[in-house]
Structure 1
Amino acid sequence: MTVGQAVVEYLSRQYTVDQIGTVEYRERLIPGTFGIFGHGNVAGVGQALKQYQLLDPAIMPYYQGRNEQAQVHQAVGYARHTRRRQTFAISTSIGPGSSNLLTGAALATTNRLPVLLLPSDTFATRVADPVLQQLEQPYAYDLTVNDAFRPLSKFFDRVSRPEQMFSAFHHGLRVLTDPAETGAVTISLPQDVQAEAFDVPEEFLAEREWRIRRPDADDGDIRRAAAAIRSAKRPLIIAGGGVLYAFANDELALFAEATGIPVGTTQAGVGVLPWDHKLSLGAIGSTGTTAANAIAADADLIIGIGTRYEDFTTASRTAFQNPDVQFININITPLDAYKHGTSLPIVADARKALVKLSAALGGYRAGADLEELVTAEKERWNATVDHAFDTRFTPLPSQNEIIGAANRAMAAQDVVVCAAGSLPGDLHKMWRVRDPFGYHVEYAYSCMGYEIPGGLGVKRAALAEAAAGGPARDVVVMVGDGSYLMMHTELVTAVAERIKLIVVLIQNHGYASIGALSESLGSQRFGTAYRTLSQDQHSFDDGAKPSIDLALNAQSLGVRVLRINPGEDVIGDLEEAILAAKAAPEKGGPILIHIESDPLLDAPSSESWWDVPVAQVSGLESTQHASATYTEHKTRQRKLLG
C-alpha cells in the first residue's frame, strides 16, 4: 500500500481511552479528515481518502473546507468541546496550502488543544527540483516552508522515507493525547513519499488505544498546600480551562462549598461553576468582574487550578496587591505549575488533586467575613450587569444590550462562541453561564476569524454528542464585522453540509476593542474605523462609511439572513430572531442575524488594568496624559514570587 493509504487506515484505528472516577470512555481519536487538494496530496492522502470512501465511508470521513486555516479552527473547536479526547486531521498541498495552516497551528498550541496537521512537502528525492511553490534558501537547501511549523508545534517530524512514518506517527499521537504536552502535531509528508508503495506491518494498522494520562498529586505536595490554606485568611481560587478538561467542575464545586473559598475564572475556565453559584465571583483580571478583582486585591493565597496565568488573568501582575500573597498552582503541565516562582507547585490532574486536597483539609472553612464580602461584591456586580443589559440606547444598541438579549434567548445548554475584539472581554465579565459546555471563547490566541469555523467545529461536536444521547445544543457565534471579514467563507461549508450554525453579526463599522484601547493610550482611535480614504491627509479616520452590506454578503453565500433594523424595539427583535433561529430545522443550514451597534458605548469597568506600553514622549497631548496614567499603573505591578 502507499504511505497515504497507510496513514488513512492507521488514523482510522486510533482510540482515546479516558477514565473519570470509575467510568471509562473510549472514543475515536480522529473521527474525520479535512483536506484541500493540490499537487502534494491529491495523489497521496487524497487518493487514499477516495479509495476508503468507496470501500466504506465510515473508515475515514472526509470534510471539505474553504481555507486551510479555517479547517484547523474547526478541529480546535471540536477538540475543545470534546475535552481534548478527539480532534481532526488536516491534509494540505505544498506551499501556500501548508503555510495557511500556520496561524491555526499557533492557535492550537497556545490553547493547549490537539490538532493533527499533515502538510505536504516538496520531493524527498529532489528528482524534480525546484518544484512549483518550493521555498529555496541558498544557506540551507533542505529547508522547506514546513520548517516554519517547528516553533508552532508541540511535535514536528518529516517523513522522508516510508519507514519513518512508524515512529513519526507513534510519537506524534503520543503528544497529541498527552494533556500536559498537547497542541499542534505536525507531520510533514513529501509528495513523492505519500504516493510511494511499501510493505506495511500489520501491527502498525492494528487498533490502538491511547490512554489519557491523569497523574495523581504527590502526598507531600498536598500536605504543604493544605497547611498553607489553613493558615490563609483571604484565600481565592482561580479556575482555568484545566478544570474543565479534567472534568473537575463538580469536584471544584464540592471543594469550594466545603471550604467557603470563592472562585474566579479565566476565559477558558468559564463554566466551572454556574454564574449564580454563591461562591462564583465570575471572571477575573483585566476583563473580570469587580467582585473577583476586589477579592483578588486582598487575597493572601491564590489557588490556581488549571490556569496558565495569562496577563489578562493577572491584570498584568497588578491584580494581587497583598504583599504576603502566595500561590498554590495545581496544573498537569509543569510549566504552568511553577509560574510566579511558587514554592507550592502541584503537578497533577486537577480532579485528582482536588479530591486529595479536600480530604487533607478535613473540616477547614474560611472565615465568615470572607463569605459576607463575597456576597456583597456579587450583589454589586450583578446589579451593574443588570443595568448594562437593560439600559436602552436607540436607535443603535450597545454591545451590552446585545449580549444580554442573546443570553436571555439562549437555552442553558446552548454554546456561545467568540474569539477576538471587544466581544470576548464583554462576554467574559457579563455572560451568565449555566452549563459547563456553554461558553467557548478562544482567548489564548484571540484570533480574528476563528469564530465562524471554530463555531462550526463546536457544532460538529455538539451534533455527535446529541447523537450519542447527550443534550441538543444550539451553537451561537457572536462576531463583529472585523472578525467576520477575516474568515466568513466557512459559512459556505455550513451551507454545503446543511449545518445549523447561528451567527449573530454585530456591525459597528470598525474595530471597537482596539479603538477603545487606542483612545485609552492616547492614539485617538487611529486606523480602527471602517471609513473611505480621505486623500488630503491620507486618513481613514473621518471619511464616510463604505457602502458595505454584510447581511447581503452572507445571503449571497446561501445563508438564511435575519436583519434587525435600528429602532426602539431592536433588542426585543433580536431576542425574537435568536428564538426563531433556534426553532429552525436542524438540517436547515446556517442562519445569520445582522444587527448594528454603537461602538462608543462601553461595557462596565472591571476596575482593573492591562499593560500595553504608551509612547514615553509625544507631541500629542492625549498621548502625554495616557503616558502619565500608564506610569502610575506600573507602580502597582509586582513580580509575584510566591
Structure 2
Amino acid sequence: MTDQGAVPDFDGAEPPTDGPTDRDAATRETDPHTSDDSETDDSAEPAKTTSARSGAEAVVASLETAGVDTVFGVQGGAIMPVYDALYDAEEISHVTMAHEQGAAHAADAYGAVTGDPGICMATSGPGATNLVTGIADADMDSEPVVALTGQAPSDLVGNDAFQETDTVGVTTPITKSNTFASSADEVGEDVSTAFALAASGRQGPTLVDLPKDVTTDETDIGPTEPSVPDTVSVPDRADEGAVEAAGATIADAERPVILAGGGVVKGNASDELRAFAKEHDIPVATTMPGIGAFPEDHDLALEMAGMHGTGYANMAVTTTDCLLGVGTRFDDRLTGGVDSFAPDATVVHVDIDRAEISKNVEADHPLVGDAGTVLDQLAAAMDSSPDTDEWVAQCADWTAEYPMDYAVPAAETDEGAPDASSFPDDQPVKPQFVVEAVDAATDDDTVVTTGVGQHQMWACQYWTYTEPRTWVSSHGLGAMGYGLPSAIGARVAADDDQSVVCFDGDGSFLMTCQELVVAARENLDITVFVLNNEAIGMVRQWQDAFFDGRRMASEYPWVPKFDTLAEAFGADGFRIESYEDAPDVIEAALETDGPAVVDVYIDPTEDVYPMVPSGGDNGQFALSEDHL
C-alpha cells in the first residue's frame, strides 16, 4: 500500500510506493560489481510452498536466504514478533544498539565496508522515526541499507493508534523504495525485493513497514532469492559511440584530470580506475566519498578536492582542460560555485544513475553505466594516451607549493612517523599530529570512521588512504554523531585482522556516546580518538570567519572527561594532554582488546585549512583565516 489505509486504485498515472519510486525506475538495476547475493536472477525460482509459518518467520527466512549475517536494532512492541522469529535464526547475529539512530548508522557502515546491505530494525512510532537520520544519511551517500520497522495492526492504522506513525510517508523522500506490507503471504517477497533494490545499481536504503497483524498471521509461502522487479532497469554499458567520442577527447587533452567519486568505491571499480589512470598517466583527485578509490601515496594522487580539499587538487581541477568524473554527484561542497568549477574543461561524466548526468555540472560526454564497465570501455576505445608529462610535472609543482602541513611541523623518523619528541611540550597538541601518529601506528587496511566537523576534515587530510572501503563517514547529510555507531558497524563488517579507528569531536561524540555500552557489551575492538576542543569547532570556525567572531552556542563551558565516561560505560579510557603523552597512550589504546576511548586535549585555536568559502572558486582557496 502507499498509505496506511485502503489500497488506492492506480490508473497508471501515479505509481505506487511499494516498488521502486520514480527516480529509480529508469536508473536502478543490478550492478555487476556487487556481490552475487544481490544480483538479478532472471531464473529465480518462484516462492516455494512450505509448512505454515508466521509472517515474522517469513521475514527472517527471507533475510537468511539473502545471506544476512547481522542485524542492528532496538526491540519494541510492534516489531516484537519479528524479534521472536529471529530468536531461532542460527545464522543471524543481532546487535542490540542503545538508540535506533545508532542502529541505522551501524547498518550504513556495515554496507560501506562490505558492499552488501546492512540491516536495521526498530519498532513503530518513535522507533521508526529515530531511524530517519540514519536512513537519510544512507540515501545521500548511496549506502545499501534495509530498514525493517514495526507498525500498528492494519485495522488500527489511520486511527492514531499507540506508537503509530506514517513511516512510509515519512521515509518516501529518503529511500530508493519502501513498502507497507499488506499480507503474510507477500511479506517475505517484500523483504527480498527490498534487499535486492538496496544492493543493486546505485545503492541506497529501502524500507519495509511491518504491521503487527501481518507478522503474526500465518503463511505457507516460502522465501525466494532476492531479485529486483522487471520494471527496474539500468544500463550496464555506455553507448559505444559516446564512449569513442569521450575516449578521443581524453586522448587529445593536454591537462586531463580524473575525479573519482563515491560511485567508484560503491561500484567496486577501484581496480579499473587505478589501471586506467596509470596506463594513461592522468592525475587523480577524489571527492570526499571517493577517498580510497585511488592510493594517496601514488605520484598521480592529488587527494581530495573541494571545500577542504588539497590546494594541488583544487588547482588541477580548476585548470584542467578535460575532466573525467566517475561516480560523482558534483555536489556543492566539491564544486563551490558551479560557474567557476573547471571552467575550461570538457567534461566526461560516468555514472550509473542517469539522473545525476548534467544535474549540477553540464556533461559534454555523458556516459551512463556501471563505473568499472565504462572505464573498461574507455580503455578499449583509446588507442593512444594524452601527452601529460608537462601536466604531471605542473601538478607535482603545486603539491610542493601547497603542502598539507600545519603550524608546528613534525620531525620525521626513519619510518616516516611524526616524532612527538620534536614538539614543544608546553604547546597544546595539534589534531593533525594525532591523526598522523595513529596512521603511522596502524596498518594500511585500517578502517577509519568519523563523526562530522573539524575532526572529520583532519581525518580526511592527514591520514593516507590506499585502499577502498577503509574510509567511512557521513558526507552528504553531514550527520554529527555518526562516528561511534559507524565504528560498531564497521567492526562487525571488517575482517578480524583489520583495525577499526574512529576520530570524533567532543560535540559529535556527545550525540551518540551511549553506543559505547554496545561496544563494551559486545567486546568490540574499536579505538575512538575524541579530538576535544570543547566546542562545535567547525561552527566556531565559520562564526570567526563569516560572523565577526560572534561565537553563539558553539563553545562548551564544560565537557565531561571522556576517558572517565568511557570507563563508566565499560570501555577503557585514556587521555592525551601533551605531546609527551601521545606515543605511549596511542600504543596502549590500540593494543586494548576491546573498546577504548582516548580523550585528546587538542589546540582549541586550530582550524581546518585549506578552505574554499561556500559557493566560492576552488582555485581561490584560503590557507588561513586572513585569506578569506
Q: Shorter chain as normaliser: what TM range?
A: 0.7 to 0.9
What TM-score comes out, normalization by structure 1 length?
Answer: 0.81
Q: Distance in 2 between matches of 1:256 and 1:109?
A: 29
Is residue 5 from structure 1 mapped to residue 66 from structure 2 by the alignment?
Answer: no
2:445 pairs, out of 404, 413, 430, with 413
SS in 1 for 2:338: coil
1:429–1:457 CA distance, 2 compared to 1 (3 A): same
Is residue 508 from structure 1 mapped to residue 533 from structure 2 by the alignment?
Answer: yes
- What amino acid does structure 1 have at the position aligned with 2:74? I
Other-structure match for 2:176: 154
Other-structure match for 2:117: 87
Other-structure match for 2:94: 62
CA contact (8 A) 1:406 1:575 kept: no
Please state how far the C-alpha of 1:356 moved relative to its aligned partner.
Answer: 1.7
1:294 pairs, out of 296, 315, 323, with 315
- What amino acid does structure 1 have at the position aligned with 2:374? A
Other-structure match for 1:610: 614
1:387–1:127 CA distance, 2 compared to 1 (3 A): closer
Q: For structure 1, which segment, 384-393 or 267-276, has the greater mean C-alpha deviation from structure 2 after superposition?
A: 384-393
- What amino acid does structure 1 have at the position aligned with 2:386? R
Q: Distance in 1 between matches of 2:408 and 2:440?
A: 14
Please state how far the C-alpha of 1:282 moved relative to its aligned partner.
Answer: 0.9
Q: How does 1:480-629 map to 2 (within 5 A)?
A: 480-531=505-556, 545-546=557-558, 548-564=560-576, 566=577, 570-584=578-592, 588-606=593-611, 608-611=612-615
Q: How does 1:379-394 map to 2 (within 5 A)?
A: 379-382=400-403, 384=405, 388-389=409-410, 392=423, 394=426
Q: How does 1:277-356 map to 2 (within 5 A)?
A: 277-317=298-338, 320-322=341-343, 324-339=344-359, 340-356=361-377
SS in 2 for 1:109: helix
SS in 2 for 1:605: coil
Please state how far the C-alpha of 1:281 moved relative to its aligned partner.
Answer: 0.7
| Runs of 5+ consecutive residues of structure 2 not aligned to the other structure | 1-52, 412-421, 617-624
- What amino acid does structure 2 have at the position aligned with 1:38? G
1:353–1:387 CA distance, 2 compared to 1 (3 A): farther
1:294–1:128 CA distance, 2 compared to 1 (3 A): closer
Q: For structure 1, which segment, 425-434 or 107-116, has the greater mean C-alpha deviation from structure 2 after superposition?
A: 425-434
Please state how far the C-alpha of 1:458 moved relative to its aligned partner.
Answer: 0.9
1:285–1:383 CA distance, 2 compared to 1 (3 A): closer
Other-structure match for 1:638: none
1:577–1:411 CA distance, 2 compared to 1 (3 A): farther
Q: Distance in 2 between matches of 1:249 and 1:10?
A: 31
1:196–1:483 CA distance, 2 compared to 1 (3 A): same
1:191-245 alpha-carbon deviations (Å, 9 max, x no partner):
2222122x3323xx24557899881232111111012213322211111121122
Q: Distance in 2 between matches of 1:210 and 1:122?
A: 28
Is residue 168 from structure 1 mapped to residue 193 from structure 2 by the alignment?
Answer: no
- What amino acid does structure 2 have at the position aligned with 1:556? A
CA contact (8 A) 1:516 1:525 kept: no
Other-structure match for 1:133: 163
Other-structure match for 2:27: none
SS in 2 for 1:477: strand
SS in 1 for 2:329: coil
1:316-358 alpha-carbon deviations (Å, 9 max, x no partner):
4266353x32211111111223332213111111112112212
Paired residue total:
554
2:432 pairs, out of 400, 403, 426, with 400
Q: Distance in 1 between matches of 2:111 and 2:340?
A: 31
> Between the two proteins, what is the percent identity of the paired residues?
25
1:554–1:214 CA distance, 2 compared to 1 (3 A): farther
Other-structure match for 1:246: 267
CA contact (8 A) 1:178 1:213 kept: no
CA contact (8 A) 2:117 2:195 kept: no
| Runs of 5+ consecutive residues of structure 1 not aligned to the other structure | 15-27, 136-143, 467-471, 532-544, 613-628, 634-642
Please state how far the C-alpha of 1:61 moved relative to its aligned partner.
Answer: 2.2
Q: How does 1:430-449 map to 2 (within 5 A)?
A: 430-449=462-481
Q: Distance in 2 between matches of 1:610 and 1:195?
A: 52
1:234–1:207 CA distance, 2 compared to 1 (3 A): closer
Q: Distance in 1 between matches of 2:339 and 2:473?
A: 24
Q: Distance in 2 between matches of 1:33 and 1:547?
A: 33
CA contact (8 A) 1:410 1:578 kept: no
Q: For structure 1, which segment, 356-365 or 205-214, has the greater mean C-alpha deviation from structure 2 after superposition?
A: 205-214
Provide the alpha-carbon RMSD of the alignment. Answer: 2.7
Other-structure match for 1:626: none
1:127–1:420 CA distance, 2 compared to 1 (3 A): closer
Is residue 110 from structure 1 mapped to residue 110 from structure 2 by the alignment?
Answer: no
Q: For structure 1, which segment, 413-422 or 251-260, has the greater mean C-alpha deviation from structure 2 after superposition?
A: 251-260
